[in-house]
Amino acid sequence: MRMGPGEHRSVAFSDEAELEPVLAPFVSEGLAGRDKVLYITDVTHPAVAVGLLRGWGIDPDAHAGRLEVRALGTSDPDVMVAELTEAAHRARAEGYRALRFTGEMSWAVREGTETLTAFETQVQAVFDSGLAMGVCQYDRRVFPPVTLSELQRLHTGTDVDLEFDGALLRIRRSARPPGLDLDGEIDANGVGELARALSSAVRRERGDVHVDMGRISFIDLSGLRVLVDTATALAEGRSLVLNRVPEHVVQLIRLIGWDRAPGLRVRGGGARWSP
């Protein structure tokens, strides 16, 4: 999922390999385009982060002055936001379109959610100005699951319909039809969030649960398996209805035979929901 100035996303990961499909394009697209990149580490040594970038095909030496990787100097939200604001203005003054920022949020485990709330509230003004865009990194190995969920909801603001907002996938509740709207890519990085959102929708709705897949650009077998498992676990008389499914995904579902799974109804890309 491409990002532009003003956008503020998050990524939850369990190991560095899960960061690659999010951060590699985020950094490389900025360096190939008109942006400056700032990568802030916390528990990771900057040299290790540089090594990760090299492993992802990004040469930091070739972008000296345009790509900066450095350690977090403070966890004071006022100072952090002031430094980020200054970096964004400096990038614009140097002729760049915007500042691409990514940072490890592990410091929030030490400082608590109140400090993170203060940071997120203040830093949003930097993104709203159009001077910057950002991806915040949440490490599942240091965040307890409940705390992680709370922090991600703080990160995404007060949008009550937003179930999950990651760098590659966004999940929203829908009222008409009742269920979920999906936007982006679903692979190993987002399948857990999809499963949680589907489980919540099944509990929330009394009848059929609809999933709009019209804005899904990629879904792997693990994502399809979650959809099928959710459908087959529904009580008799209820269905999981997949709307606006891309044609190549419809063909894959039919090839595997999952279109015959109990409780699953598949509507191709041209099909619109009607009550």
More confident residue, 268 or 81: 81
Half-sphere exposure of 154 (CA within 13 A, CB side): 22
Tell me if 8-158 shares its fold with 169-268. Answer: no
What is the CATH T-level fold of the domain 8-158, as seen in this structure? Rossmann fold (3.40.50)
- Write down the mean pLDDT value for the chain: 88
For residue 13, name the pLDDT band (cuts at 50, 70, 90): confident
Contact 68, 96 (CB under 8 A): no
Going by pLDDT thresholds of 50, 70 and 90, the confidence category of residue 142 is: confident
pLDDT in tens, 17-45: 888 888 999 999 999 999 999 999 999 99
Distances (CA, A) of 253 to 48, 57, 211, 247: 41, 34, 15, 10
Q: What CATH number is given for 169-268 in this structure?
A: 3.30.750.24
Look at residue 274 in the predicted model and tell me its pLDDT: 52
pLDDT-derived band at 56 (thresholds 50, 70, 90) equals: very high
Q: What is the pLDDT of residues 167-209, one digit of tens each?
A: 788 898 898 899 999 998 998 878 988 998 999 899 988 899 9
pLDDT tens digits, 236-256: 999 999 999 999 999 999 999
121 falls in which pLDDT band (50, 70, 90)? confident
Whether the predicted pLDDT of 156 surpasses 80:
no
| Residue extents of the structural domains in the chain | 8-158, 169-268
pLDDT above 90 as % of the chain: 62
Reported as a pLDDT band with limits 50, 70 and 90, residue 104 is very high
Per-residue pLDDT, averaged over 72-89, amounts to 94
